[in-house]
Amino acid sequence: MVTLDVEEEFLLLNREDGEPVACAEAVRAAADLQPALEDGEVQPEMLQVQVEVATPVCESLDEVGEHLLRLRRAVSAAAEQTGRMLAPCGSAAFASEGRASVTARPRYRSLHTDAPQPVDEQLINGMHVHVGIPDRDAGVAVINRLRPWLPLLVAMSANSPMWHGDDTGFAGWRTVVFGRWSVSGIPPLFADAGDYDRRVDDLRDVGALRDRGRIYWQARLSERYPTVEVRAMDVQLRVDEAVLLAGVVRALITTALTEDTAGAPLARPAPELLAAAQWHAARYGLGDALIDPRIPQRVPAADLVGRLMDHVRPALEDAGDAERVTALVHRLLAEGTGAQRQRAAMRRGGPEALMDLLATETTAAPQPHQ
């Protein structure tokens, strides 16, 4: 079985007004006392208004869901002990303007020195999925084959419509904010792992990177483990939405490995088409037609999701995930993305209703799939 693990980032907010609060150290200290948590499962983030959780390596989506729910509930309880709430939103809906409180670690301090404004505005939360690969050459082959699907992952995961009290007009504003880093977005095509490493070294040598940890492509090789890390997604409101995306990412990577072994043709969309598809995905989520950069063609969002499901169905079936992921995809299309549900809450009851939505969805148990 191809293994996977998941990381989720969260904001720490005042329950009353949604303002981010620099209390990560206090929350992590309270989390250390939670019996449900293990060492290293709650990690610091760049800003003191955020925390990150990381699951152990898992073999099944059941394991992923159980760990994510356990982590969310334990860290949410720790946040409540400090008088704050854990919020699974891809962007800060109600943050005031001003300088952020950077976590006191050399790496984060150097990031702020290099790019003070982007760091101050890094009030965004992602979801990262790590999937096991045989070796780095296989990992590069996977990244090459993931490129046309990364914009759709942005659209399906869109959960960041609000920013500093206003609706941005984008479903996935996090993607726009994150795209300001010098090495970000959809990765280029690579010949092999040697080519990947040489080009990353070139970026470091010219000063675009201080270290390989600052490669912010939406899919990249891990420098410590034999995994590909997919970073295109916003953090999700609900655990089962995170499970859906984890299952899709694993199936995409498994499919890419199978295709590479079989020598299947590699789609090579033009860079401008990929950039346009990603911008369009961030702008509209699943609320409008999307660009399929492989063709290229503009198609209804549900049709493109259907093409994705056809593409990965054999991998889902081999993993025993087809029924679960298919049911979750149908629910996503019926109920909408996190961005759509955040906007619906704002229309229904303003900021109070949005805060209620965030508080309720964070630790909600997954619904049985039909």
pLDDT of residue 40: 79
pLDDT of residue 182: 86
User: Locate tokens 């907010």: which residue?
Assistant: 13
Alpha helices, H only, 82-217: 106-114, 116-120, 136-146, 150-157, 173-178, 193-205
pTM, rounded to two decimals: 0.96
Tell me: the pLDDT tens digits for 194-204? 999 999 999 99
Residue 57 · residue 5 · CB < 8 Å: yes
Three-state DSSP state, 97:
coil
The token pair at 210 is 């201080």
DSSP 8-class letter at 291: E
Q: What is the Cα 132 distance to its own chain's centre? A: 17
Is 184 within a domain?
yes
Residue 368 pLDDT exceeds 70: no
Is 22 within a domain?
yes
* Residue 121 or 90, more confident: 90
Is 70 within a domain?
yes
Is 363 within a domain?
no
Letter for the amino acid at 66? E
Cis peptide before 293 (omega within 30 of 0): no
User: Locate tokens 């609060």: which residue?
Assistant: 21
Beta-bridge partners for 127: 8, 233
Is 15 within a domain?
yes
pLDDT of residue 369: 59
Which helix or strand (DSSP H or E) is residue 323 part of? Answer: helix 322-335
* Domains held by the chain: number: 1
Percent of the chain with pLDDT over 90: 84
Three-state DSSP state, 305:
helix
* Boundaries of domain holding 347: 4-353
Beta-bridge partners for 13: 20, 85
pLDDT of residue 268: 96
Residue 32 · residue 82 · CB < 8 Å: no
Residue 224 CB coordination number (10 Å): 8
Is 366 within a domain?
no
Going by C-alpha positions, the residue among 178, 357, 335 that lies closest to residue 244 is 335
Is 141 within a domain?
yes
CATH number at residue 201: 3.30.590.20
Distance CA 207, CA 201 (A): 10
Is 364 within a domain?
no
Distance CA 89, CA 161 (A): 9
Distance CA 347, CA 144 (A): 41
Mean pLDDT computed over every residue of the chain: 94
Strand locations in 280-332 (E): 290-292, 297-299
Residue 219 pLDDT exceeds 70: yes
